[in-house]
Structure 1
Amino acid sequence: MSGATRIDVHQHLLPPEFIEALERHGMGAWAPAAWSEEGALAMMDQNEIATGVLSLSMPGTHFGDDAEARVLTRKINERLAGLVKRRPNRFGMFASVPLPDIDGSLEAIREAYDDFSTDGVVLMASIRGTYIGDPAFDPVMAELDRRAAIIYIHPTPLAGPPAPGVHPILADVLLDTTRAAINMVLQGVPRRFPNLKIILAHGGGFLPYAAYRVATLANVIDQKTSDADVLDGLSSFYFDTGLASSSTSLPSLLKFARPGHILFGTDWPYCLDKTVTFFTGSLDNFGDLDLSGHSAINRQNAEALFSRLAGLVS
């Protein structure tokens, strides 16, 4: 392709407030090299990305104290909104919310939409072992549904200890996303909150590959649950291509996702520049997609989802 046209829905901001919070809570190793606007733009230009929709990554803004989380959430969302205001054609934002603090999250949603004109909201797939879709989070989902929100679901390491010698980013985070997606469907989130548009990170984890297994076994476990209803719920999600556009993962994703539901993503800067280039090149060289298919994933599907970004150029 030629020209910067892609919309990257999986790109992260690492503001100083977040880095300080990670270090204060003994999680400094969770952050990659420092983020900068210049570095983001250089990576985007190298990979023909017109706009990056930025979000905070794991573990979100809540480290155990509601008051601290509310302040941190506000600071990060303010910073993101300021960046988008300065460069609306190059950046978008998924606002953070301080779950599991329900009242704080409802206020953060109000601020995000009413004060900051956010493009959507990022939610961690699980919060200390409680997964999105849990009824405890229904007030937040109901408010997001009222606003017809775009929700970005990003994983965190699993609540239990990792397998010795297997870093959580190799498999655990994929399972975290998959668990959240299954839980949302089994809890009826797509049916009860039909105005939500929910994007799953990293191609949905293991979901496209395992969807029919999930649907048929869910029916075995609970015969009131039909295969068709589970598959319909699982396929209602949107999926980004961050670390999921290889020659082995794309066929499963393309076969399972609904038309218009695959979006371009990089996972930068948690992915190094060379990793972004590898997966972007793998997508570009995937021969089973025609020109219109590439254009849809690179930009058009995101334009249909994010009305503000439609027609913007870098």
Structure 2
Amino acid sequence: MDSCKLPERIDVHCHAVPEKYREKLIKNGFQNPDGMPAIPPWDAEIHLQLMKDRNISRSILSITSPGTNLTPNNAAEATTTTRQTNEELSSICRSHPEHFSFFASLPLPLVSESIQEIDYTLDTLGAVGFTIISNAHGLYLGDPTFTPVLEKLNSRKATIFIHPTTCNLIIPESHPFVKPVTVLPYPRPMMEFMFDETRVVANILLSGLLDTYPDLTFIMSHCGCTLPPIIDRIGAFDAILCGREDSSQRFKDLLKRRFYFDLAGKPFPEQIHGLVRMLGGAGEASSRLVYGSDFPFTREKAVIGLQDLMEGGLEEIFGKEVMGDIYVGNARKLLNL
């Protein structure tokens, strides 16, 4: 199809694999990240061609799992990798300012190093927000370790794009069933990613983080992952544990005010309905959705097919009159584009 006949889109969930970062992945044993067959090919020209062909006017580049802290026993190396990668992304965006912006990475769970990176990437490199993977070597947002980082992000009124990674639960040594975690022999993005991002968003809700840091805005990826069908269960357990009324509606209200949800992956024809219901119906949900392609980990042929599927699904649920907000308007408002 002629790109001029396609609706304009802003891609909030897509990735870059700049050359020096690729070298760091390979050096540290991530040739098959999260069980995927390989690191996909990527360069700016390949990405720009896809954007031209599919009428994507701007892409917000980010680093995906496993993030930039690739050396948990070497803080200096993790900090250097993070800074170098953020500078690579900034350079790409400066070369193509009309087409690319970026979410900066942080070397979590390193605290002081992450705080230093926040001001630098916003003030010097021009980041529009931050990507934080669902767990940082087993620690999830809401853990008290991250308090100074969240205070800093809140002071900058930051947007945080949460991206899933492989689950890394830390089980107390006294637990009677402590043993190595066994995962099914499939790439973790197939299923495990969806559970791990649900885990961190549940922890954000349960920990009270949203009340403590009122100026943070979050993007949950992959259409809410597995949160919608269990949000009422999470709210009910919170009420039991804390001796208060069912928290389900309070959590849903917080999600509607503080979160956006990207449509990367395969949310159509089934998954989207749970998210829309959780957010209170099509009228309320339409203002919290943004487009995502997940390129290049979702290859070009799949991006095209998923766009076509999304087009029909969005029209059926929301109607043509609000599809422009989902594709473009909400992202412009969120990121001041």
Q: Taking structure 2 as the reference length, what is the TM-score of the superposition?
A: 0.86
Instruction: Report deviation, 1:204.
Output: 2.1
* d(CA) in 2 for partners of 1:4, 1:88: 21
Alignment of 1:80-119 (within 5 A): 80-119=89-128
Q: Counterparts of 1:164 and 1:226 in 2: how far apart (Å)?
A: 35
Give 1:189 shift. Answer: 1.4
Q: Does 1:170 align with 2:190?
A: yes
**What's the CA shift string for 1:264-308, capped at 9, x where partnerless?**
00111111112212221111111122112211110001011111x
- In structure 1, the partner of 2:53 is 46
Shift of 1:113: 1.0
Q: Find out whether 1:300 has 2:322 as its counterpart.
A: no
Instruction: Provide, for residues 226-283 of structure 1, a one-character-per-residue CA deviation record: whole Å limited to 9, x for no partner.
Output: 4233333344321100014311112222232344111100111111112212221111
1:20 and 2:28 are equivalent in the alignment: no
Amino acid at match of 1:129: G
Cα distance in 1 for partners of 2:201, 2:162 equals 9
Equivalent residue in structure 2 for 1:230, among 232, 245, 251:
251
1:184-211, Cα deviation, whole Å (9 max, x unpaired): 1111111111111100111121112322
Give the 5 Å matches for 1:264-279.
264-279=291-306
2:236 is matched by which residue type in structure 1? T
Partners of 1:182 and 1:234 within 8 A in 2 = no
Which string of whole-angstrom CA distances, capped at 9 and with x for unpartnered residues, describes residues 123-166 of structure 1?
11101211112111111111111111111001111126453333
AA aligned to 2:270 is T
Q: Which amino acid aligns with 1:196?
A: L
Query: Shift in Å at residue 115 of structure 1?
Result: 0.6
Structure 1 residue aligned with 2:261: 239
Aligned partner of 1:139 in structure 2 is 148
Counterparts of 1:225 and 1:118, CA distance in 2: 40
- Of stretches 233-242 and 126-135 in structure 1, the one that deviates more from structure 2 is 233-242
Question: Does the 8 Å CA contact 1:12/1:56 hold for their aligned counterparts?
Answer: yes
Q: Is the 8 A contact 1:95 1:120 kept in 2?
A: yes
CA distance in 2, matches of 1:182, 1:244: 22
In structure 2, which of residues 179, 182, 207 is the aligned counterpart of residue 187 of structure 1?
A: 207
Matched-pair identity in %: 29
Give 5+ residue unaligned stretches, structure 1. 310-314
How far has the Cα of 1:4 moved from its partner? 6.1
Hey, which bits of structure 1, 4+ residues long, moved more than 4 A? none
Query: Does 2:172 match 1:154?
Result: no
Shift of 1:220: 2.8
Matched, 1:32 2:39: yes
Q: Aligned letter for 1:250? A: I
Cα distance, 1:221 vs structure 2: 3.5
SS in 2 for 1:129: coil
Cα distance change on mapping 1:83 and 1:4 into 2, 3 Å? farther
Which deviates further from its counterpart, 216-225 or 267-276?
216-225
Contact 1:162–1:168 (Cα < 8 Å) also in 2: no
Equivalent position SS for 1:38: helix
What do you get for the CA RMSD once the two structures are aligned? 1.8
Is contact 2:252-2:278 (8 Å) kept?
A: no
Q: How many residues align?
A: 308
The secondary structure found in structure 1 opposite 2:132 is strand
Q: What residue identity is the alignment partner of 1:21?
A: K
The 10-residue stretch of structure 1 (136-145 or 15-24) with the greater mean CA deviation from structure 2: 15-24
- State the distance in 1 between where 2:115 and 2:201 align: 22
Q: Is the 8 A contact 2:6 2:54 kept in 1?
A: no
SS of residue paired to 1:151? strand
State the alpha-carbon separation in 2 of the partners of residues 171 and 262 from structure 1: 22
Unaligned runs of 5+ in 2: 170-180
User: Whose radius of gyration is greater, 1 or 2?
Assistant: 2
8 Å contact 2:141–2:204 — kept in the other structure?
yes
Q: Which residue matches 2:276? A: 254
Q: Output aligned runs, 1:68-87, within 5 Å.
A: 68-87=77-96
Q: Which residue of 2 aligns with 1:218?
A: 238
Q: State the one-letter code of the partner of 2:205.
A: V
**Contact 1:150 1:197 survives alignment (8 Å):** yes
The 8 Å contact of residues 4 and 50 in structure 1, kept in 2 or not, is answered as no
